Amino acid sequence: MKEAKTILEKTEGGLDVFKHYLGDDCTAKKFRNPYRKDSRASCRLYENKDKGGTKYYYLQDYGDSEFCGNCFAIVAKLLNYSIKNDFKRLLEQIDRDMNLNVFSSYDKDFQCKQTKLKKVVACGGSGKPCTIIDFKPISKGFSDKELEYWERYGITIETLRRYDVKSVKCCTFIKTDGKSFGIVSSEIVPIYGYYFNGGLGIKFYKPKSENRFLYAGVLPKPYIFGWSKLPQSGERVFITGGEKDVLSLAAHGFSAIAFNSETAKVPEDVMKELSLRFRQIVFLYDSDETGIQESQKRVDEYKDKYHVSRLQLPLAGNKKEKDISDYFALGYSSEDFVKLINKL
């Protein structure tokens, strides 16, 4: 609807809508979801553009895929509107609540829904989210200590090179507000880069930092790591929770991909192509609460269309042992993993 586009234009891509319903702290680098038990501050706003170039903000909750979307999807969830059936009324309520004057009149029987909204609590720096418009990375050779880190998970230098993973010495970033900042690697806080399209897009990985990931440049949409390295066909492909899992599986002889997080939606066209190339699609997410919950959601979503299943690893589900890379780091072998697969 044209009114939706107008609302986005009047609210800085929906940023003001998020602030109105969630509070100003939703502009923090990360914040807790007030509508569920969220002790890890799993939410963050991202700036995007649609195919027509219209700017919009997107809320990603890395702990619950049901609480992700643009401002309309989130407000619909908060106010119990159906996006499919009540979209016009949702827009009318946002228009009224924020005095935007987008609609010249409303339906006679329309009444705004009343609900007690919970405001978010920031867990990072506040202020308007800012987009990186340029970056200048400098890579270096892997140090012995860095290679030791990857080898803990069975990941060799050959696997790192094959997947275009590099050790980053430093990188300078330029933001939309004209300000710049940089990151510098050290022996204590190393930085790695998952390079896409020859470095036109990079996802930076800082395993020793509180904020482990940073994005810059043109990244694939949807974000899929390992897609170009998949064989044309095979018996089985794993969808995992992260890049390190893909690398660890590849180093042990298994085909795998990862989306940007376990809560990311898996597009229908991706599932369709995977089903044509592989006999079985296995969701191999973390053994914690989020991983178990999200992998089951994916199986329930696609089990009637494709040959899908989920595999839960025999791990404690804590920070030290929850994913497939941890599984191999604990001493389990490829043969041990095959035994688990054969039980599916």
Can you give the pLDDT at residue 126?
A: 46
Q: List phi, psi (to 5°) of 54.
A: -75, 130
Other CB atoms within 10 A of residue 255 CB = 20
Q: Which CATH class is domain 224-341?
A: alpha beta
| Residue that the structure tokens 């296995």 belong to | 282
Cα 146 from Cα 168, distance rounded (Å): 11
CA distance readout (Å), 301 to 69, 113, 161, 289, 311 = 18, 30, 35, 18, 16
| Domain range list for the chain | 2-98, 132-217, 224-341
Joined tokens for residue 271: 């599932």
Comparing CA positions, the residue from 113, 34, 119 lying closest to residue 81 is 113
Cα 61 from Cα 231, distance rounded (Å): 32
Cα 21 from Cα 23, distance rounded (Å): 6
Can you give the pLDDT at residue 123?
A: 59
Strands 213-217 and 132-140: unpaired
CA-CA-CA-CA torsion for 217, 220, 224, 226, nearest 10 degrees? -80
Can you give the pLDDT at residue 128?
A: 52
Can you give the pLDDT at residue 98?
A: 85
Can you give the pLDDT at residue 287?
A: 95
Would you say 268 and 313 are in contact if contact means Cβ atoms under 8 Å apart? no
Can you give the pLDDT at residue 122?
A: 58
Joined tokens for residue 91: 């827009």
pLDDT digits (tens), the chain, 344 positions: 899 999 999 999 999 999 888 887 788 888 888 787 777 778 899 988 887 888 899 999 888 888 899 999 999 998 889 998 999 999 999 988 888 888 877 665 656 666 566 666 555 544 455 567 789 999 999 999 999 999 999 999 999 999 999 999 999 988 877 888 899 999 999 999 999 988 888 999 999 987 888 888 888 888 899 999 999 999 999 999 999 999 999 999 999 999 988 988 898 999 999 999 999 999 999 999 999 999 999 999 999 999 999 999 999 999 889 999 999 999 999 999 999 999 99
Can you give the pLDDT at residue 117?
A: 66
Can you give the pLDDT at residue 116?
A: 60
